[in-house]
Amino acid sequence: MVGSPVLFVAIPLLAAFIIPLTGMMWKNSVRVIPGLVLAFMFFLSISLMGYVNEHGTIVEVLAGWKPPIGINLVFSPFTGFLTTLMTFLGFIVWLYSYKFKRNVDFEPSMKYFMLLMLLVTGSVGIVLTGDIFNMFVFIEIVSISGYGLTSFYTRRDSAEAAFKFLFMGAIASTFLLIAIMIIYSQLGTLNIADIAEKMPMMDHKLKVLSLVFFILAIGVEAEIFPLNGWAPDVYTEAPGPIGAAFAGIVVKAAIYASVRLVYTMYDFSGAFDLFIIIGLITFIMAETTALRQDRLKRMLAYSSIGQMGLVMIAFGIGTKEGVYAALFLMFNHAIIKSLLFFSGSYLVFNKKNKYIKHVNGMGKYLPITSVLFTIGAFAIIGLPPFAGFWSKLAILTAAADNKMVVLIAVILIISILEAVYYLRVVNRIYFYDKKEKTEPKKPSLNALVAMISLGVIVLVIGFYPDLISGILDRAAADLLDKGNYIKDVLTLNK
């Protein structure tokens, strides 16, 4: 083994504590170190993925106590896939924002990069941990870094967005604690695998109610319909790359948490239907709301929420194809939505309110950024040959195999709306005349590299989806194999 899953948490935290010290000596270190750490995490996850493919799931115990006593980290094909995705995106977000914050003072910029790093760390922690209370701690880490990052710009209405987020997050964490305590009071353990094994012993009523509290708590971060009021505000007011980080990293972690609950911890079959219902409502509400937005980032935010609804639907289908589709969709969404946020925030760079009309005629001034935005828009609509098509095909096939004809119809009808609002923006980029006098800001080199690498991934996956379908297949099989997860964790021979 080249590394260990614990380094995903230990190294960033060490770095976070070191950064204030090095920042006193060498100011640039506050930018460089988080990047190095994120790159390290990405390569670590890749090397661990290689190991996992050969030797099977890694279960890392902490403090030398085997589960269920100690906390453990699980790096399986499924969690490994998500970890790789998140750390990659984290690195890309860092790369994109490396110069983005040049004009900001030293201290806020230090905080920006530190919070970004810990946001990624917390999300990775949510995914890796095998203990529900530990998951709660990581959720709080993610939330608080989220509050800090959202309110980064002091001049905008960012505090309002952050407060809404905090309000929802605080209520959610309360109910998360209640749910954890209900489970603990019945089963006497906090380890997910142990809980999953003992779950049949639990009283049915308490099982249902604890799951309800869990859904409420995790649903806030996962942006499901009635709980996502904060999300568009946060995406709008946070710095551009942070929108990408939320869409690509935080929400993925929350979705992971809910999936882990339903697939591994609980043994309800009805929970899958609930996933479909919630996902469908989220999808419909978000996409229809996005249709009438006049601010670019807000539109992207609603679109992101809608896509997450689609992911929930795919997970709710519950078959291997469904999980495969959901994972594919998560991957695509992470890449494409980041691309859209990145290029979109340059298209409306110097504008205060970032209205959609500000992109008018940008095709002429920012050709590469515009093309990348267009590729992203086409991909997220699901037009072949871009990456989004394959995931859409996968989810529809999975739904069709379960004879969910109405579901397919609804997804497709709503997809048309999605196409409409994205194409409206694309049309504006190329076929409207720019009215404002202000010169658009050219993307700096690092931002351009970040965007182009995302665009290339979109194209490559579009033309050659086999590149990741093997990984996704293994991940899907891993998620569905509940017995194996329990066995891996509880019969640990270290």
Partner 1 sequence: MDIIILILIVFFAGAVLTAFSEKISTLVQDILFLGTLIVPAILFFTGVEMNTDTIISFNKVPLNLGMTPLSYYFALIVMGLAVLTGVYTVGQMKGKKRKGYFYLNYILSIGAMFGILMSKDLVSFFIFWEIMTWASYLIVIYNGKNVQKIGIKYFVMSAIGAYAMLMAIVLTHSLTGSFLISDLISGFGSWDHGMQILIPVLLLVGFGVKAAIMPLHIWAPDAYSNSPMSYTAIFSGALSKMGVYGMVIVFLALLTKVPEGALIRDIVAWMAAITAAISTLYAIKQDDAKRLLAFSSIGQLGYIVIGVAIGTPMAMLAGLFLAFMHGVFKSTLFMVVGAVEKQTGTTDFTEITGLIRKMPWTFLAALISIIALAGIPPLGGFVGKWMLYESLIQSDHFMLVTLVFFSSTAAFLYCYKILFGFFLGQEEKEWSHVKEAPALMVVPMIILSIISVVLGTFPQLIMKPINAAMTFYGMPDTYGVLWKESMLFNKWGSDIALTPIMYGIMAIFIVVAIFLFFRNRSRTRYVTTKDISTSGEIPKEHENLTFTRGFFQPFLRAVEPVMRKQIDKYMLSFAQGIEDLFEFTRRIYNGNGQSYAIYAMIFLIILLVLGKNLFG
Partner 2 sequence: MKKVIVLISLGILGFYLIDIFLGIGFGVQHFTAGVKDLYLSNSKDTLKVSNVVTAIVVNFRGFDTLGEVTVLFLASTALGGILYKKRHHVGERSVLFPASRVVMSGAKLLFPSIVLLGAYVFIHGHLSPGGGFQGGTIIATGFLLMLLTYRNYSVSHNRLVYFESLAGILFVSIGLVGYFSKGSFLENVLPVGNMNELFSGGVIGIIYIAVGFKVAAELTGIIYTVLHEKD
Partner 3 sequence: MEKYLNILNIAIYGSAVLLMLIGLYGALTKKSLIKIVLGLSILDSGVHLLMIAIGYLKDGTAPIFSPGNEDKMNIMVDPIPQALVLTAIVIGFGVTAVALSLVIRLYRHHNTLRIDEIKKLKW
The kind and range of the H/E element at 118 are helix 106-128
Q: Considering only CA atoms, which of 358, 123, 354 is closest in space to residue 251?
A: 123
The residue (of 31 and 297) whose beta carbon lies closer to partner 1 is 297
The residue (of 155 and 437) whose beta carbon lies closer to partner 2 is 155
> Rounded to the nearest whole angstrom, what is the least distance from the CB of residue 391 to partner 1 in the complex?
12
**Residue 328 to residue 114: CA distance in whole angstroms:** 30
- The binder of 69, among partner 1, partner 2, partner 3, none, by C-beta within 5 to 8 A per type, is partner 2
- Count CB neighbours of 245 within 10 A: 31
Of 91-99, 103-111, 325-333, 359-367, which part binds partner 2 (CB under 8 A)?
Answer: 103-111
Sign of CA dihedral 408, 411, 416, 419: negative
**Residue 3 to residue 264: CA distance in whole angstroms:** 26
> Rounded to the nearest whole angstrom, what is the least distance from the CB of residue 350 to partner 1 in the complex?
25
**Beta pairing partners, 129:** 73
> Which residue is associated with the tokens 């914050």?
101
Helix axes 132-150, 158-187, angle to 10 degrees: 180
The residue (of 161 and 245) whose beta carbon lies closer to partner 1 is 161
Query: Distances in Å between the alpha carbon of 303 and those of 179, 282, 289, 333, 454?
Result: 30, 10, 9, 10, 18
Structural tokens at position 134: 């530990």
**Residue 310 to residue 326: CA distance in whole angstroms:** 8
Q: Which of 25, 63, 155, 352 binds partner 2 (CB under 8 A)?
A: 63
**Residue 482 to residue 491: CA distance in whole angstroms:** 14
- The binder of 157, among partner 2, partner 3, partner 1, none, by C-beta within 5 to 8 A per type, is partner 3
> Rounded to the nearest whole angstrom, what is the least distance from the CB of residue 147 to partner 2 in the complex?
6
> Rounded to the nearest whole angstrom, what is the least distance from the CB of residue 134 to partner 1 in the complex?
24
**Residue 80 to residue 77: CA distance in whole angstroms:** 5
- The binder of 169, among partner 1, partner 2, partner 3, none, by C-beta within 5 to 8 A per type, is partner 3
What angle (nearest 5°) sits at the alpha carbon of residue 450, between those of residues 449 and 455?
95
- The binder of 434, among partner 1, partner 3, partner 2, none, by C-beta within 5 to 8 A per type, is none
**Residue 73 to residue 329: CA distance in whole angstroms:** 25
Report the site for partner 2 in 144-173 (rule: CB under 8 A). 144-145, 147-148, 151-152, 154, 159, 162
- The binder of 62, among partner 2, partner 1, partner 3, none, by C-beta within 5 to 8 A per type, is partner 2
- The binder of 355, among partner 2, partner 3, partner 1, none, by C-beta within 5 to 8 A per type, is none
Residue ranges that bind partner 1, judged by CB under 8 A: 160, 163-164, 167-168, 171-172, 175, 205, 207-209, 211-213, 215-216, 219-220, 225-227, 229-230, 232, 266, 268-271, 273-274, 285, 288-289, 291-292, 378, 383-385, 389-390, 393, 396-397, 399-403, 405, 408-409, 412-413, 415-416, 419-420, 423-424, 427, 430-431, 463-466, 469
| Binding of residue 115 to partner 2 (CB under 8 A) | yes
x/- mask, partner 2, residues 312-331, rule CB under 8 A, reads --------------------
- Tell me: cis bond preceding 385? Omega within 30 of 0 counts: yes
Structural tokens at position 206: 């308490």
DSSP string, 445-481: HHHHHHHHHHHHHHHHHHH-THHHHHHHHHHHHHHH-
**Residues 362 and 369: beta-carbon distance below 8 Å:** yes
- The binder of 6, among partner 1, partner 2, partner 3, none, by C-beta within 5 to 8 A per type, is partner 2
Structural tokens at position 344: 């979109």
Structural tokens at position 86: 């998140």
- The binder of 138, among partner 2, partner 1, partner 3, none, by C-beta within 5 to 8 A per type, is partner 2
Interface residues toward partner 2, by CB under 8 A: 4, 6, 9-10, 13-14, 16-21, 24, 60-65, 68-71, 105, 107-108, 111-112, 114-115, 118, 125, 131, 133-134, 137-138, 140-141, 144-145, 147-148, 151-152, 154, 159, 162, 178, 182, 185-191, 194, 198, 203, 205-206, 209, 494
